[in-house]
Structure 1
Amino acid sequence: MKNQFTQTMLFCCTNLYLLTSNHAIAEDNLPQKYNNTHIETITVTGVKQAYKGDFATLETPQSELIIDDKLLQYTGAQGLTQALDLSASVARQNNFGGLWNSFAIRGFVGDENLPSNYLVNGFNAGRGFGGARDLSGIEAVEVLKGPRAALLGRGEPGGTINLITKRPTFETSGSLNFSAGSFNTYRADIDYTTTASQNIAMRLVGFYEDADSFRDTIETNKQGLSPSVTWQINDKNQLTYALEYSHQSTPFDRGITAVNGNLNALPISRFLGEPGDGPMEADVLGHQLEFQRKISQHWNLLAGFSYRDTNLEGFATENGFYGGRQFLQRDGKHLTRFRRYRDYNANHQAFRVEANGSFFTGHIQHRLIAGLDTDDFKNDQVFLRARGSAIDDTQPIENERIRLATTNQIINVFNPIYGAYILPVPSPNTDQLEHQKSQGLFIQDQLSLTDKLDIRIGARIDKYQQTLNNRALDNRSTYTDTHISPQLGIVYKTTESFSWYAVYGENFRPLSGATDENNLEPNQSQSTETGVKFLLNGGQLEANVAIFKVAQSNISTVDDDFNATAIGEAESQGFEFDLNGYITDTLSIWASYSLIKAETKNTFKDPNFGTEIPAGADLLNIPKNQFTLQLIQEVSLNEKTLSLIGGVTYVDKRNGFFSDQTFKLPSYSTFRLAAQYEVSNFLKISAEIRNAFDKKYYTNSFADVWVQPGAPRNARLSTTFRF
């Protein structure tokens, strides 16, 4: 992969140099008023988003939240997790030691053994092993709530996240950003776009970050590049190519342990792994190619192909669970750990083609989206493990601790001594390749029956196949199925600024590890939603109020013999309120609130621990109440814009261990203060303080021994140069 990246980047950089070396950068290209975006965007004729069609906010019978580049800059979000905190409908989940993004939408999460899936320009991109997603190169983050399978195919029950990348614009401009912050965090970003000719434009976006952490011994280094090229072939045809490269190096960090249920027993800085394991390495190399054709005034054709390789590799010493091998439950001081080696590789390919447009039958207008796509995902996992012996409870505590100290990698949680023992060599545990393939046909028609009433009808049929090659057992098995995903929606627009909507949809997600032998039928969900959308302040302020219910079935579980089965059922229902836009010409607001009850509906076993989970049990990491508010006041200082920003995030208490419903993560509120000042047309300075009141809090957990603490009070200062 690295050799392939080197060759590709040499090609891109060489061509970028040749295209720009003789191109003068004129001062006239700079925007007259800095609008808190890196680059003034010029829309290229014919650019459209896949699976979207042309629908205004009040015409869409589903709740959607669009976090644009301007808001991302105001809120200082640099990673996907920070961006998703702006939606109260999204809750953080176990992030795999900081190595991937995991989130629940409307109470439901996907496969806990894979990162949460998200889309990039409509292409599946989140299931690989490329590390936590950085927002460099991202123009907007779309939170598409509710089931989307009628168009997108396989997906998560509560909704879909789609990232829109920055594309070339047909003028020359750019920016350099340098920032420094707490925990020795240093970062540089570049965003540069230029034209090679009247119909070819290029853009280069990249970043480099080096940082320590509030966590002991943790150091992170990451970098990425996202070059892209747009060829406006003529007034009807356009071709865009984008490359994605990133590399991350960071130690695997499971967080802190609750000592006998007490989360406050250890400082949030306490690292319980082994620095001698070194960092985990995560790499991404991806390509996207998109072709758009304007067939006529009312019809467009979109076709695209995506290819993405990801890799995650390295050692980690991790906190062991309470049970027969955990010594912490005996003396309350010494933690048993196990060591793992992972070499995870994923290859993801996708192709799609669609036509969208409008036509009339009598007085009824039809807005149609129809097409086909394919998806090919290979998940290759090699996993080694070294864990100690079972504890003999009949022996004296101190004698048993000494006997097991080395084999069980015991560490004193109150006075850790790293490197006390030779790190054990892990033995083979998992060696398998899972291959998931699907082909889908989709169609959606929104009929405008009157000037006020729209009906949306959609359906998709997917044929998919899963092949599991268990190399460790020399066993190969398959699972095939065909699934239909329908959707029905209605929109009634009472005025030019108010509409009511309702929607029903079904969703499905194939379960990893499904074979014809275990008959793990896909996870399925049915969702209903009704709400109102309205515009205020002359359309400058948008709001959405919704109530919803999502029922999920075929959740993966185990039977009495610990064989995989899919009999779990769960339900999520709640209320949402989103408000964003300008209250006045200089005061803007972003507010998001959710009230969610997510619980099991039948008794089944936790597949990780075999513990029986009763009906009515709370799902993991789902707060009942969640709220975020951002206020931005723009004032004039020396005839330049000063933006004063204040934000607060509230997260209710949550279940922190699915198999132990008594273990809860406490509620918390964090505050952010920031300011951005436009010194000149060429220079902007920004400063921010996160967690201003230094609140001790915990963002997510998987169990009582894997709890992720949030960062204490921290600050960042940055400078942006535009040219």
Structure 2
Amino acid sequence: MTISIRTNATIFLSLLLPVLNPCHAISRSVPTYILANDDDDNQRGSVHGRIVTQDGQPAAYVSITVKGTAKGTTTADDGSYHLRHLAPGEHTLVVSFVGLQTQEQTITVTAGQNAQLDLTLTETARQLGEVLVKGYKSTNQVPVTVGKVAIKPMDLPQSVAVVERDVLDRQQTLRLSDVLANTNGVYISGSTGGFQEEISARGFAFGSSNTFKNGVRFNNGVMPEVSSLERVEVLKGSSAILFGNVAAGGILNLVTKKPRFESGGQVAMRVGSFGFYKPSFDVYTGLTQNIAVRLNGTYENSRSFRDDVRGERIYLNPSILAKIGTRTELLVEADYLRDKRTLDFGIGAINYAIPDVPRNRFLGTAWGYNQVNQTGVTATLTHRLTDQWQVRATGGLQDFSSDQFGTTRPNASSQFIKTNGDWQRGIQRTQVDEKYYIGQIDLTGQFSTGTIKHTLLIGADADSYRTNTTAFNPLAKYDTINVFNPAKYRLRTDIPTLTARQLTQAPIDRAGVYVQDLIALTNKLKVLAGVRWSYQQTGSTVTTLNDNKATTTSNFDDAFTPRFGLVYQPRETTALFVSYANSFALNTGVDVAGNALPPSFINQYEAGIKNDLFNGLLSANATVYQIKNSNLAQTSLENGNTNANIKELAGEVTSRGVEVDVKSKTIRGFSFLAGYSYNETRYTQSNTYIVGSLLRYNPNHTANASLFYTLQRPGFGQGLQLGFTAFYVGERQAGRSTRVTVANDTYRLIELPAYTQLNASVGYVRARYAIRANVTNLLNQLSYNVHDDNSINPIAPRQVSATLSWNW
């Protein structure tokens, strides 16, 4: 699809500016450009609104001009626009887009007022004899913000996946696991206690160091709120050059909704199975011509298919954008999450096998809970030094606290579930208080040395964790329950009092500097090269509270992590690439001489092809990779050592895989996305585990496919949307890997069955309102998310939900 451009050069410029101006890409505000001089702003008015297609979808990059003048703008990604500095009186707006019917609308502008004009464009088969410029970007053309510099994925020797807000709305996503069903190779590898979804990619687990919100790390010890997200970005593979100590599988960035310089919003109510209800709101406005604000939030109250399990959460996400002069922007974003839900470690395992008990059976106590309070504030100052150079500084802080109180995990602390189903329940409590601080600065720019073009990134960052964990004296025997027959025993319902036993203080201080350059040797051949130096200091102070005795340990490491990639583009719409990247993982423990262990280095090799087909209507990418940690820390066997704290870099883990992604734009009302991944992560050397054995939690195969249709024909039913999503998770294993160093080892793996989940959705979407409904797990498939052998959580059965929303 293409945009219709009139011969007026100013309109052509207004279309190009949103692409060329990185500041607008960061703020996501409506790109309005004033192409004539105006006098007194107080004596002028403005017009704002939203342009949608006849199926109710946002019409991005549509040209809007004031007839007979040089004033113009284009719509943003969400179809919104804002024309400022208009003289009072009647004006005719010309709205055009190739393939859509050009419209002219007359509107009266009043001094000091902001008039609103929303339009719906319809398709036309008329061919326009005008200059044509590509009017939208494919998924391979839009840079991800977490990359720190505006490099198109087509030029990046790395696999990238992005899930946009439109997909989140159509699928009515509720949890991050719903979002990741659209990203092959990135998957939920486990769930703990019903309050956390554990994420992995390419065989390596993500932690809080790999999970970001608006480019800043955040604690993923609680399920993040999805309703506030504009999109989800995934950089697969190593990103150590950008962020230092991150796992090799990739990083995940959650991008929240940004302030906008016009007034509008949405209120919505979602209801669903098992007594679920969730009201939400999203309000934005431009307070002045230079200040815009936005506030979205939600309240959630839910029960569960699990007996006696329920949850409640409150979320708020305020933000403010201030334009300080013509070249500087300050964006301040905050969020607050309070999440409290029943502590639920699932159905347990018997002799490393999943027992045949109903999916809804709950083994904990109704009063047990996990409560999290999470508050974060991030400020980003962006200043354009010139049209080619900008500097961006970010500062942030986050406060995370959790209180977990309830039954111990089944099979924990040697309290195994017996063959007859009897399990002696214990009670445990843990409190965590974590404070996180970060500061970073990036200089990005473009320049040329002769005929060679450069896209340069130079940056530095420093962050700090202060984590205090309080462990309480557990109650070893609370009562006994039978997992097959809960009525067999009389269960206790009282809440015991536990006393604090131990305080662990675990500070982490990190700093790094990095430089990266995308070098365009020719239009077809590009090189991405860079290096980062990282320093990290860790430690712990463990204090026993009854006698106030403390033990302190500390460790520090530094490391260089290089990156090199080669991209060859035989034509503008195809890119072949190969790359090498290096990352590192810090180790705990000491060697046989008592010295701190050095970090383990992880080498990754990747090759792939990226294609934009049919003028960008379809993107098809394929990637192969190998990731190898060839100096994995394992318990030292020297001189018959059995102290697990004395280690040697004697192990090796190798991950190999293939990934395929396909994504389309809307074609005659249809759009789809699909993907497949194969991964094999094994111990290729080990003195502890069987060489050749697979690592736990990682499915060899994952696949996803989503098909969407919107009825575009004018008349009854216009705006009707249908959707169908399927994702497949292959066989994987949990439990505990067999140790070759232990005679008569009782550890065993738990084989988890593969499953395919089908979801269906239907909606009716108009400019002002939308009604949506969806069904998840249509075939009522049963499988499990498992952590070790002590948190075995069944996936949810078939569920139904519906959402009614109103826009203004």
Question: For residues 565 and 49 of structure 1, what CA distance do their matches in structure 2 show?
Answer: 39
Residue 75, structure 1, aligned to residue 161, structure 2:
no
Q: How far 1:710 sits from its partner (Å)?
A: 0.4
Does the residue aligned with 1:72 lie in a helix, a strand or coil? helix
Per the alignment, residue 11 of structure 1 pairs with: none
For residue 599 of structure 1, report the CA deviation from its aligned partner. Answer: 1.2
Whole-angstrom distance in 1 between the partners of 2:601 and 2:668: 46
1:372 alignment partner in structure 2:
460
1:264-300 Cα offsets, whole Å, 9 max, x none, are: 51111111111133x2210111100000011111111
1:95 and 2:180 correspond: no
State the Cα distance separating 1:247 from its structure 2 match.
Answer: 0.3
SS of 1:663's partner is strand
- Residue 509 of structure 1 and its aligned partner are, at CA, apart by 3.2
| CA–CA separation in structure 2 for the residues paired with 1:524 and 1:205 | 42
**Partners of 1:409 and 1:421 within 8 A in 2:** no
Name the structure 2 match of 1:449: 521
2:435 aligns with 347
Cα separation, 2, equivalents of 1:614 and 1:518: 28
With over 3 angstroms needed to count, the CA separation of the structure-2 counterparts of 1:176 and 1:26, relative to structure 1, is: farther
- Corresponding residue SS for 1:82: helix
**Structure 1 Cα separation of the partners of residues 499 and 691 of structure 2:** 38
The 1-side partners of 2:393 and 2:558 are apart by 24
Amino acid in the other structure paired with 1:146: G
Measure the CA separation in 2 of the matches of 1:36 and 1:655.
Answer: 43
Answer yes or no: is the 8 Å Cα contact 1:259–1:332 preserved in 2: no
Answering whether residue 719 of structure 2 is matched by residue 641 of structure 1, we say: yes
User: What is aligned with 1:295?
Assistant: 385
Corresponding position: 1:504 with 2:600: no
Aligned counterpart, 1:66: 162
Alpha-carbon shift at residue 221 of structure 1 (Å): 0.2
> Which letter maps to 1:54?
A
The TM-score normalised by the length of structure 2 is 0.78
The answer to whether structure 1 residue 29 and structure 2 residue 49 are counterparts is yes
The answer to whether the Cα contact below 8 Å between 1:466 and 1:478 also exists between their aligned partners in 2 is yes
Secondary structure (helix, strand or coil) at the match of 2:772 reads: strand
Higher mean alpha-carbon deviation, 590-599 vs 554-563, is at 554-563
Q: Judging changes above 3 Å, is the alpha-carbon distance between structure 1 residues 248 and 687 closer, same or farther for their aligned structure 2 residues?
A: same
1:530 pairs with one of 607, 617, 626 = 607
CA distance in 2, matches of 1:675, 1:628: 19
Amino acid at match of 1:234: G
CA apart distance, 1:39: 6.0
For residues 296 and 233 of structure 1, what CA distance do their matches in structure 2 show? 15
Greater relative contact order, per chain length (Cα 8 Å cut-off, separation 6+) = 1
The offset of 1:42, in angstroms, is 5.9
Does residue 565 of the first structure (1) align with residue 647 of the second (2)? yes
TM-superposition CA deviations, 1:445-490 (whole Å, max 9, x none): 1111111000111100011211211122501221111111100000
Structure 1 residue 677 corresponds to structure 2 residue 773: no
Matched with 2:328 is 237
Deviations 1:623-678 (A, max 9, x none): 11110111001113626211110011111110121334542010101100101112
Conserved 8 A contact 1:183-1:212: yes
What stretches of structure 1 of length at least 5 have no aligned partner? Answer: 1-24, 389-406, 606-612
**Superposed CA RMSD:** 2.6
Contact 1:333 1:412 in 2 (8 A): yes
- The one-letter code sitting in structure 2 at the alignment partner of 1:288 is T
> Residues 559-602 of structure 1: CA distance to partner in whole angstroms, max 9, x if unpaired?
52232636443111010001112372321111121000011122
In the TM superposition, 1:58-457 aligns within 5 A as 58-110=154-206, 115=208, 117-126=210-219, 129=221, 131-277=222-368, 279-321=369-411, 324-326=414-416, 328-329=417-418, 331-386=419-474, 388=476, 407=477, 409-416=479-486, 419-420=491-492, 425-426=497-498, 430-457=502-529
CA distance in 1, matches of 2:618, 2:625: 23
User: Against the structure 1 CA distance between its residues 100 and 370, is the aligned structure 2 distance closer, same or farther, given a 3 Å change threshold?
Assistant: same
Amino acid of the residue matched to residue 65 of structure 1? Answer: A
SS in structure 2 of the partner of residue 585 of structure 1 = coil
1:177 Cα shift?
A: 1.2
Amino acid at match of 1:643: Q
SS at match of 2:508: strand
Q: Deviations over 1:54-102 (max 9, x none)?
A: 2223211110001111111122222222212221211212332122332
Tell me the alpha carbon deviations over residues 328-347 of structure 1, each in whole angstroms, 9 at most, x when there is no partner: 33x42201333210101111
Structure 2 residue matching 1:336: 3-state secondary structure: strand
1:685 Cα deviation from its structure 2 partner: 0.3
Partner of 2:775: 689
- Single out whichever of 707-716 and 471-480 deviates more from structure 2: 471-480
Aligned residue for 2:193, secondary structure, equals coil
For the residue of structure 2 that corresponds to 1:538, the secondary structure is: coil
Amino acid at match of 2:336: Y
Q: Distance in 2 between matches of 1:91 and 1:43?
A: 40
Please tell me whether residue 489 in structure 1 is matched to residue 583 in structure 2: no
Alignment of 1:476 onto 2:552: yes
List alignment gaps of at least 5 residues for structure 2: 1-44, 60-76, 84-142, 637-641, 738-746
User: In the alignment, residue 561 of structure 1 is paired with which amino acid?
Assistant: N
Q: Distance in 1 between matches of 2:667 and 2:464?
A: 48
TM-score, normalised to structure 1's length? 0.87
Deviation at 1:536, TM superposition (A): 1.3
Overall identity of the aligned pairs, in %: 25
- Contact 1:228–1:242 under 8 Å retained in 2: yes
1:32 Cα deviation (Å)?
Answer: 4.3
Q: Figure out how many residues of one structure are paired with residues of the other and give that number.
A: 662
Q: Deviations over 1:238-261 (max 9, x none)?
A: 001111101001012111123344
